Amino acid sequence: MTALLSAEWTRLAATRLWLWGLLAALASGGLVGLLALVGPENFNPPMPGLDTEQGTRVLLGLLGFTVFAPALLGTVAVAAEHRHRTITTSTLFAPRRWTWLAAKLAVYTGAGLVYGVAASAVAGGALFGAAALKGVTLGLPVSTVLALLGRIALTMAVYTLLGVAVGALLRNQVAALAVVGAYFYMIETTLMLIPGVKLIYPWLPGGATSALTGFTYLADAVADQTGGSATALLSAPAGAAVLVGYALVAIAIAVAAPLRRDVA
Amino acid sequence: MNIEVRGLTKTYGTVTAVSDLSFDVPPGAVTAFLGPNGAGKTTTMRMMLGLVTPTAGTALFGGRRYADLPAPSATVGAALDGAGFHPAHTARDHLRVYARMGRYGTARADRVAELTGVSAFAGRLTRALSTGMRQRLNLATALLGDPRVLLLDEPGNGLDPEGTAWLRRFLRELAAEGRTVLVSSHVLGEVEHLADHAVVIRQGRLVSTGPIGELYGPATVLVRSPEAERLARGLARDGVLVEPGPPGALRVHGLDAAEVAAAATALGVALHEITSERPTLEQAFLHLTGGSR
């Protein structure tokens, strides 16, 4: 297994994908920093400032919205094996196909965690820096901010795992990207409009993500519009468990499906 | 290590790609796997390696299926037609990824690059490689594990004449070391001086297996003469099979060029051209399937 892990790492490190990933991480962190510098009170419409709890949560929540980016990178990385037809050689070198898929999942989950830590570190640094520049104190205790940043980093790792699993499952790079992108941008939001779906929202990927990252805007917004009360989300550990559960199901299918597929 | 293929069959819906195919590939020799395009060569090789699940039948390497070998890529090296490379990897990156996957080490990756001539373009991105270079890189990847058995799918495609000559020498050396080498091709001329044995398939079925020289059947001689008709009558009187060739020419079966020349001299017929014709793979097929003219 160490051989497969080291091979996957070599494969990732030899392309520029890791560089694009790092740039994306720094950019998403930097975007939060830029918004912090502008200040939520200057947004259009204005929002509570950095020195309020809500203002700080808005900015951290925006970072939470970028978790789909590492998922897409994971999807690209795995679907590339099919697109560039290296899958044939990979399968020949590891005929027990689940082994190299497991190695890929491990390497990319690690990479996703690095992505999350990089994005969170930049965002956190920028947030504290902006507050210091403006001479205000963040509206949340430092320990709470750090904990939320840590949860976002962890979410990014789990999402990378999900992305890899979807890429392994769908094989077609464009289709895989479309499915992952469409789900996060449209499908789940649309589902929320159906009465009753709200009840299962805590167990959907978006609901579990909200529970893990601690941001509930979507649930609150839907509650506002439908006139109902906000759906109670799961606890953070339960949300994390649900997300990992989705990833495990996707992986199980991704591992089981290629076993019966012909590599053509 | 020998290869035993027994009853391999693959059907896709109602289409039978490969049908009840059985043959053996001995060690220490080069065996050509011949058939026209679409005959089922690639599907057969993919089934032998477990990439495509056979509808029926088995392929065993020293008595084991590929996936059951203790060290698959160190036992059987395969360069398949459909195998690709990540376009953002250099040739060296590609070899190193798979050297790691098989625990063969970076030094081995560099060694196979030297053996196959990949070193000359090791730093180049694979998207910028010519077909011939891709063939060499594929071959180098197959050799990473120093395997006893080599399965090569159309390795001569895209090679220049110099590359073809090199490949021939290289594969003969590998076979002389006692390895089992199976090389597929749709061009008989490409493998006739390379292979010792041939397995010939058409439309997914075995047509023939045996020494490659026996594929051809009797040679023919093309004769051009201003008195072609008189020559044809004279030869036919002696029981020689003669058929019309291109205008002003005859195709003579069962005699070599010297015998045809002697017969023409005896008849006092002038000859403008006399050419021994090497049968094409298609003619060899016709011969083998009993459809000879």
Using the beta-carbon criterion (under 8 Å), do A11 and B82 form an inter-chain contact? no
Using the beta-carbon criterion (under 8 Å), do A14 and B89 form an inter-chain contact? yes
Q: What is the DSSP letter of B212?
A: G
Closest CA to B96 of A7, A193, A233: A7
Q: Is beta strand B205-211 parallel, antiparallel or unpaired with respect to B197-202?
A: antiparallel
* Rounded Cα–Cα distance for residues B10 and B50 (Å): 12
Q: How far apart are the C-alpha atoms of A155 and A140, rounded to whole Å?
A: 21
In which residue are the tokens 């930097």 written?
A: A30
How many CB atoms are located within 10 Å of the residue A2 CB?
9
d(CA A153, CA A163): 15
Q: What residue type is assigned to position B257 of the chain?
A: A
Cβ contacts of B141 on chain A, cutoff 8 Å: 89
The reply to whether A245 touches chain B by the CB within 8 Å rule is: no
Distance from C-alpha of B115 to C-alpha of B140, rounded to nearest angstrom: 8
The model's confidence at residue B292, banded by pLDDT at 50, 70 and 90, is very low
Higher-scoring residue by pLDDT: A192, B160? B160
Cis omega before residue A45 (within 30°)? yes
**Is 90 exceeded by the pLDDT of residue B47?**
yes
pLDDT (0 to 100) of residue B293: 38
User: What does the pLDDT average to over B55-62?
Assistant: 95
pLDDT value of residue A190: 79
Distance from CA of A18 to the nearest CA of B (A): 12
Predicted confidence (pLDDT) at residue B266 exceeds the cutoff of 50 = yes
**What was the pLDDT predicted at B48?**
96
Closest chain B C-alpha to A102 CA, distance in angstroms: 13
Q: Among candidates B273, B270, B242, B268, which has minimal Cα distance to B255?
A: B242
Only one residue has tokens 């009753």, namely A196
Contact between B253 and B240 under an 8 Å Cβ cutoff? The reply is: yes
Enumerate the H helices of B102-227 as residue ranges. Answer: 105-116, 131-143, 161-176, 188-191
The 10 Å Cβ neighbour count of residue A228 is: 11
Instruction: Please say if the pLDDT value at position B239 is more than 80.
Output: yes
Half-sphere exposure of A246 (CA within 13 A, CB side): 22
In this predicted model, which residue has the larger pLDDT, B80 or A207? B80
**What pLDDT digit, counting tens, does each position of B12-37 carry?**
988 999 999 999 999 999 999 998 88
**pTM metric for this prediction:** 0.80
Residue A87 structure tokens: 């899958």
On whether any CB of chain B is under 8 Å from the CB of A3, the answer is yes
Residue B180 has pLDDT above 60, yes or no: yes
Whole-number Å distance between alpha carbons of B60 and B24: 10
Residue ranges of chain A whose pLDDT lies below 50: none
